[in-house]
Every structure is written in structure tokens, then in C-alpha cells.
């Protein structure tokens, strides 16, 4: 959809749950939003990991991906902390919120709600809880994990049901993007170069994993193609002024590229490329304005482009080959220099 111009803390703060109306059966009424959020986080973690690993040849920035998502009590607003601690067991440190199904962490034996006390012998970020929901402690922990997995593996000292457990996780090589869920009633998703975030509302709007993957692949394409850096380098304004003249034209170009590349990302990860067509066509027919805005163009034009790339993918597969996007300056980038 649109590239994020918000700060990381504002976008990724998981957490003010007011307004989030999703529900998960089997949980107490007060804690259903947490269960629903955790379920969606699991879907996003699995899809994001799968896309990042399967599309490694498109990415200059590559990392060892562990395949799990952490969260911290400091991310929750003061009014929600007691319920979050009760539901997730959050107390002594960051806990495992979600696992990528079949990913490295799950294979190594890590479990949801494990409390991560140390990573490669270093204490995870803790200290006094902030007065308001904040991503600061979680950001420090994510940086610690990135550094720990820089050599491919990391050892986690965890607490599980009161017992100490040590687990070593061998990461899987993939693209360097974090995938996250943001509670919000807005149907939206964002990419800022390092993160892909989507709202709980658009997660609920997707009818299945295939459609959810289509949304994530579009945002992931923005990061792969370095769209934020490219627009920044050319002085493109966002927000209100992004809807006019040169700004709108250049942003629209990045949206077209992200749409088209998303089809190839889905194909390589084993998702149904036609799910992108189904999702965005349904989305467009609702009259949601960003599919007809100056920065995104007509939804019918976008659907036509998606269908065109999907057909190219099918033809390549029918010939027994791998589809390569023809619209990129360099089809498959190397790690030696800027690919696009």
C-alpha cells in the first residue's frame, strides 16, 4: 500500500489495544484481544519468514533469520499490562509471542511464552517499565538478537514454567526485514525499509493465508526495492503533499513496482499468485480510496498489471522454469552492489 513515513516507535508500539475488536474463542472476555493478536502474529511470522527465505536472491541485505517473534510488557499500555502479564506470562523479560511454523526456532524446541532471559550470555533489555506503551526496550532486544545471529546461530537462556532451559538456534538465511502486526481498525499496511507492518484490521479482512501473504508480499517488495531510500533521495514529499504532481507520480511508480514484484515473491514462496488478484480486486471494489488515489492509481489498472505478471509466472512454470521479472533494471541482484 503506502510506504511508512512514521517513526519506528509510533508504528511498532504494539500497544494500545483500545479499538481492537477481534476475538478468539476459548479465552476470557478481557483477554480475547490478546489471543486474537497472538494468532495473527503467528500467521504473519510464518508468512514473513517463508517469503524472506524463498526470495533471498532478490535481497542485497541478508541475515540469519531465527523464526520467532518476541514481545515485552513495556510495549503495552499501563491499563493493559496486568491482563497481558496474566495471558502471556510476561514478567521477568521478553517472551516468545509467535513462531514461524517449521522455522528454525520451532525446530530447535523454542515454545510460545518462553521467557528469554539471555542471548549469547547477555541479559535481555529490562529495567523499569515506561510510563506509557513504548517500543524502546523491545528495539534494544531486537538489535541484540540481530547481532547474536550475525554468525548464524545464537544460544538463548530461557525460563519455561519456572525451569531454566538453554536452546541453541541455527538461523536460516533470508532477507533482512522484520514483519509485525499493529492493532488498529484502519485497513492498512506499511513498509519503511527495515520493517513491514500490517494492521489487525487488514489481517482480519484477508480471507486466508494466501490473501494475507499477498498483502505482506506487496509491502515486502517496497523494502526489497529500497523504495523509501529512493524516494528520500529524490526529495519526494509524503502525506498531504504526496498526492500532487511529481510527488504523486514517483510514489505511484513505486506502488506499481511493488504490485508487480509481489507476484514473483508469492510464486517463489509457494503461494497462490492469483490470491493477490482476488484480494486487491475485492479491496478495490469496496471503493477504498487508496486504490484510486493519486499515489496508487485506478484499482482496475493495478488488477490488470497483477494479472499480467501472474500469467507470466504461469507460463514460465509451464515451461519448467523460474519466472524472472522483466521490469527490473537488474533481474536478480548480487550482494556486491546496489541491485536497483
115 and 255 both lie in a single domain: no
> What's residue 128's pLDDT?
82
pLDDT in the model for residue 286: 76
**Beta strands per DSSP E along 80-194:** 95-99, 115-119, 122-123, 153-160, 163-170, 172-175, 178-182, 189-191
CA gap 147, 292 in Å, rounded: 42
- Whether residue 324 is contained in a domain is answered as no
Residues 32, 150, single domain; the answer is yes
pLDDT of res. 236: 66
Where in the sequence is the domain holding 158, given as residue range(s)?
21-175
* 170 and 222 part of one domain: no
Q: Indicate whether 120 and 210 sit together in one domain.
A: no
Residues 169, 223: one domain?
Answer: no
* 58-72 b/e (C-beta count within 10 Å ≥ 16 → b): bbbeebbbbbbbbbb
The list of the chain residues with pLDDT below 50 reads 2-30, 240-242, 244, 289-292, 330-340
Fill in the DSSP letter of residue 24: -
**Is residue 252 in some structural domain?**
yes
187 inside domain: no
Question: pTM for this structure?
Answer: 0.84
Domain check: are 167 and 211 in the same one?
Answer: no
What CATH number does residue 152 fall under? 2.30.42.10
pLDDT at 26: 37
pLDDT given at position 284: 82
Measured between alpha carbons, how far is 86 from 72 in angstroms, rounded to an integer?
Answer: 13
How many independent structural domains does the chain possess?
2
- CA-CA-CA-CA torsion sign (270, 271, 274, 277): negative
The reply to whether 340 falls in a domain is no
Q: What is the pLDDT of residue 302?
A: 87
Same domain assignment for residues 93 and 165 = yes
| 25 and 151 share one domain | yes
Residues 214 and 297 in one domain: yes
Residue 296 is predicted with a pLDDT of 64
Residue 337 lies in a domain: no
Same domain, yes or no: 145 and 233: no
Q: Directed axis angle between helix 274-285 and helix 299-318, to 10°?
A: 170
Whole-number Å distance between alpha carbons of 340 and 82? 47
If you search the block for the grid coordinates 531486537, which residue do you land on?
142
Amino acid at each position: 500500500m503506502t510506504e511508512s513515513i512514521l517513526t519506528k516507535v509510533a508504528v511498532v508500539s504494539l500497544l494500545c489495544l483500545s479499538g481492537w475488536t477481534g476475538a478468539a474463542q476459548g479465552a476470557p472476555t478481557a483477554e480475547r484481544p490478546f489471543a486474537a493478536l497472538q494468532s495473527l502474529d503467528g500467521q504473519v511470522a510464518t508468512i514473513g519468514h517463508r517469503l524472506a527465505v524463498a526470495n533471498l536472491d532478490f535481497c542485497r541485505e541478508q541475515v540469519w533469520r531465527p523464526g520467532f517473534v518476541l514481545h515485552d510488557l513495556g510495549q503495552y499500555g499501563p491499563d493493559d499490562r496486568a491482563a497481558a502479564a496474566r495471558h502471556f506470562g510476561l514478567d521477568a523479560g521478553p517472551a516468545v509471542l509467535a513462531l514461524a511454523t517449521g522455522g528454525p526456532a520451532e525446530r530447535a524446541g523454542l515454545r510460545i511464552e518462553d521467557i528469554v532471559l539471555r542471548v549469547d550470555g547477555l541479559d535481555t533489555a529490562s529495567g523499569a517499565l515506561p510510563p506509557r506503551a513504548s517500543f524502546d526496550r523491545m528495539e534494544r532486544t531486537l538489535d541484540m538478537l540481530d547481532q547474536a545471529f550475525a554468525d548464524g546461530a545464537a544460544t538463548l537462556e530461557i525460563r519455561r514454567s519456572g525451569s531454566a532451559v538453554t536452546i541453541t538456534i541455527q538461523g536460516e538465511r533470508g532477507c533482512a526485514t522484520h514483519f509485525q502486526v499493529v492493532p488498529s481498525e484502519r485497513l492498512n499496511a506499511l513498509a519503511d525499509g527495515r520493517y513491514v507492518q500490517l494492521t489487525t484490521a487488514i489481517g482480519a479482512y484477508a480471507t486466508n493465508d494466501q490473501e494475507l501473504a499477498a498483502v505482506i508480499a506487496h509491502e515486502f517488495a517496497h523494502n526489497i526495492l529500497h523504495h523509501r531510500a529512493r524516494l528520500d533521495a529524490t526529495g519526494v514529499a509524503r502525506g498531504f503533499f504526496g498526492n500532487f504532481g511529481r510527488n504523486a507520480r514517483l510514489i505511484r511508480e513505486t506502488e506499481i513496482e511493488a504490485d508487480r514484484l509481489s507476484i514473483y515473491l508469492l510464486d517463489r514462496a509457494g503461494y497462490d499468485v492469483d490470491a493477490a488478484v482476488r484480494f486487491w480486486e475485492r479491496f478495490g471494489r469496496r471503493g477504498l480510496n487508496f486504490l484510486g488515489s493519486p499515489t496508487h492509481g485506478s484499482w482496475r489498472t493495478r488488477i490488470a498489471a497483477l494479472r499480467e505478471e501472474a500469467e507470466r509466472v504461469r507460463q514460465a512454470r509451464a515451461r519448467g522454469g523460474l519466472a524472472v521479472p522483466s521490469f527490473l533494471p537488474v533481474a536478480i541482484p548480487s550482494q556486491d552492489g546496489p541491485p536497483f
